[in-house]
Amino acid sequence: MGETVRWLTPEEQRAWRGFVRLHERLGGRLGRRLQSESKVSPADFAVLVHLTDTPEGRQRYQDLARALEWEKSRMSHHIARMAGRGLVAREECAEDARGAFVVITDAGRAAIEAAAPRHVEAVRELFVDHVTPAELRVLAEVSERIIAKLDEDTG
């Protein structure tokens, strides 16, 4: 435990704290708008986005939990709530009796199709419209590099 702590420099601290504040405020505002305008929570939206990004609209529980960085219990409880509202269904895995799939329903597709245009407009209004194309490219590159490193470290 005798390691030397590599404290953040003032510039690093400014960047880190700015990023954290941006993430918190942007996430909060987008989440409130999503909930009030579309009656879909940010967590519901995240699940529905991941499911619509797959060709069959279904994903194994553990793969979805990993993609969302959710604990198993959170995933199980949230999917049960979404299933109760008819947004998703649980489907047993024929190849693996222990596994199960989360499957988007027609109601889930309708919910995300209704929410997505409003959400993208909010993203544009609160974020995209305030950065230049060059800044967007840099942000995308930095984000992709950090995400790749995080994925590598969990593999």
Q: Where are the domains of the chain?
A: 11-154
Report, as an integer, the average pLDDT of 135-141: 97
Residue with tokens 């998703």: 88
The partner residues of 89 in beta bridges, in order of sequence, read: 103
Which of 44-48, 94-98, 118-122 is predicted least confidently? 94-98
Residue 131: which of 120, 123, 142, 143 has the closest Cα? 123
Give residue 82's pLDDT: 97
Report, as an integer, the average pLDDT of 21-44: 96
CATH architecture of 11-154: Orthogonal Bundle (1.10)
Give residue 128's pLDDT: 97
Report, as an integer, the average pLDDT of 50-70: 93
Q: Model confidence over 69-113: pLDDT tens digits?
A: 999 999 999 999 999 999 999 998 777 666 799 999 999 999 999
pLDDT at 155 over 60: no
Give residue 49's pLDDT: 97
Q: How far is CA 119 from CA 11, 42, 113, 122, in A?
A: 33, 10, 10, 5
